[in-house]
Structure 1
Amino acid sequence: MDLRASRLAVAAAFLSQGLVFISLTTRLPDYQDTWDLSELQISLLLLMIVLLAGVGSVVAERLARGRDSASLLRLGLGITVVAVPILMLAPVVGAFVAGLAAYGVALGIVDATTNMQAVAVEHEYGRPILPSFHGAWTLGGILGAALTLATSRLPVEVGAVAAVVPLLVLFGPLLPRVGDPLAAAASAAGAVPWRPILLVGLGMVLFYMVDTAAQTWGSLYLDNVIDTPEDLVALATLPYLVASLALRLGGDRLVVSYGAVSVIRVGAVVSSLSLAAVVFAPSWPVAVLGFTVLGAGVAVIAPLSYSAAARIAGEGLDPLTRQARVDAVIGRFNQFNYLGALMGAVLVGAVGQDNLRLGFAVPMVLVLALLPLARAFAPAAVGGGEIRRSTGETVA
């Protein structure tokens, strides 16, 4: 097994997911104009995507009991390759909605299986590397936002080219599960310690609430609330992703140096202050600055969540059984992603349907709940490596 090649292939899968997702969300103003959609209708479409992504994640969880995550990831990427051109090239609104629905299912499958693959690779390395995987997602998102900016004066159908990336990734050397998957799944079917996993999951809900609010409503906020030049509305997302990428690429070292608890608590405070800058922004440059700092504040919460959940689920098991159980747990744990996305996409849109400033005030306040939840992330490393606790000391 070429572990480095598998690591690169999994990182490429994260990149493709980020590129496609952001290339779609940064075009929300275009979809709104093309199909004459209200903000409430946009909220309902986002709700549909989130719910179907949850379905896709459940499908991945169930199938992971008998199939390895590499083959399931290829399935999700394949559906993405079909769905994106359908929704981008749709001649009628019904075809557009159908394409979004198919993409929602694919989104859930790929979200779950990329993280299954990532925690398996991390375990093989024996040290924290999940932030860099999520950094690849962010790099893909930057490319997606840049694609939108570069083609902002072209027909929206041009965005269908994004489907080429998951098509290429589909053939990469993903990490296989060695041994009999069915036997491993049977051995792994024991009691899972859901209580500590739930605490970590609540932290992830808060992250995705903030992240989804920024990425789905940021462009509309600049477009509708603040007098922003039309070809610059994607700046709500691009600087956010650049800041997030910088922190995620350095996230492994940050966690080793300061511990997960401190990193998350500081990030929660920074996130709340940056959202306050967005809510009270007098002009679009101030709002863009707020979104940028926000990207740095929340950057490493999601990777630390998956890493902690995998460590808790697989503690004390042999490698094959561990991977089978962790795959199943990550598939279910991924549901916290969509609960947070519901809050970020739907709650923010519903509260802010008359004024998105009020909508962004919701995550501004709720993100501070990460302060007491941070302790649940204390053991930040996995596998044969070291475990750094909240106090910052290192134990064998």
Structure 2
Amino acid sequence: MVHVADEKKPELHVFEKLESEVRSYCRSFPTVFAKARNEKLWDREGREYIDFFAGAGTLNYGHNNPRIKQKLIEYLMNDGVTHSLDMATEAKEGLLQKFEQMILSPRGMDYKVMFPGPTGANSVESALKLARKITGRQTVISFTNAFHGMTLGALAVTGNKFKRQGAGVPLHYTVSMPFDGYYGEEVDTTEYIERYLEDNGSGVSLPAAIILETVQGEGGINVASFEWLRRIEDICRRYEILLIVDDIQAGCGRTGTFFSFDEAGITPDIICLSKAIGGFGLPLALTLFRSDLDIWEPGEHNGTFRGNNLAFIAAAEALDYWESGSLEKEVSAKSERVRQRLEEIVRSNPSLQAARRGRGLFQGIAFPQPGMAEEVCAEAFQKGLIMETSGPDSEVAKVMPPLTVGHEALERGLDIFRDSVDAVSRRHVK
């Protein structure tokens, strides 16, 4: 996450006076936003910004998507139910049927859908609880640089030291293992993991689950290879460990296919979805799991806002984007263009020793010099581009526009990114 210096701008005085110091993104982007459409935002002074942040991956279909907005307006004007806990509503029924038709059935996935609460952390918490309930085991294996949420269970499987310290209590019952590439390309970390599991003297008990992201977004856009994912799945099957894929940021088309693991050919036991699944930036989370794993007792996991019917309407409409395959093709073409442009930026600034990372519309450039990615993102903001950083030391500048970004805006945003890297490079390289 990028933070520029806290400037005491007059328009931010309300936030500085009344809002907690825990606020973060408004420090990175010190203006008051008033309007948004697809890949663009405008502040109340009328200045336009291209959005390469997309609500941290929530706005895959852009700001105020007109198709989804129209459905929401119609639903509200017809006095549709907005809050329902887990009661049956037409809106939920429609989403469940469409999700089965568009996503699960074509993939041969016999999964139950759980509405755990409105956030990604809610989905992760329910996944961890279910895995422990099914297996009767307590330990969960997670990975270096993982990020799964800010509640205690999700935080326990998160790698970031700063985030973990915020818990204020010990975070138990998890073991962190090296992610793919943690020791370099030459080391297969699945061999390391399996050695711990097979050795009775390792001190690591048989876990209930392994939880992973196929692309670690907040951890620095670290991409797991498909081969590595398949080897992790094989370990899970041989040791009767449940495989949980956290697809909260990488899913819903961010890497090109609806699920980020589609091309890897793996079948997770449990899948966590949130962020873009709400379609319109509305809070929604789903926990998917194989039907034979549905051993919950009624009410054993619940939450007041798990029945967000406006999000059900928006999510169902957003799924139509995946019917024809055209969006997937568009994302593939745009992703290739982003790859080309980022590699050009890296090549044109060899002294920075930077590196491109990522796949799909989930890419970025890693800068080894401390603070440089933050400086690049701050420069980009001044030029009209919204970007954030990621990684344990905020060393990666992320390119994460809406999937529906227009080609002209995409190129202009990449031009600003290039110019920002060049400007920062000139300041640092003499």
- Asked whether the two chains share a fold, i.e. TM above 0.5, the reply is no
Q: Which has the larger radius of gyration?
A: 2
How would you bin the TM-score normalised by the shorter chain?
A: under 0.3
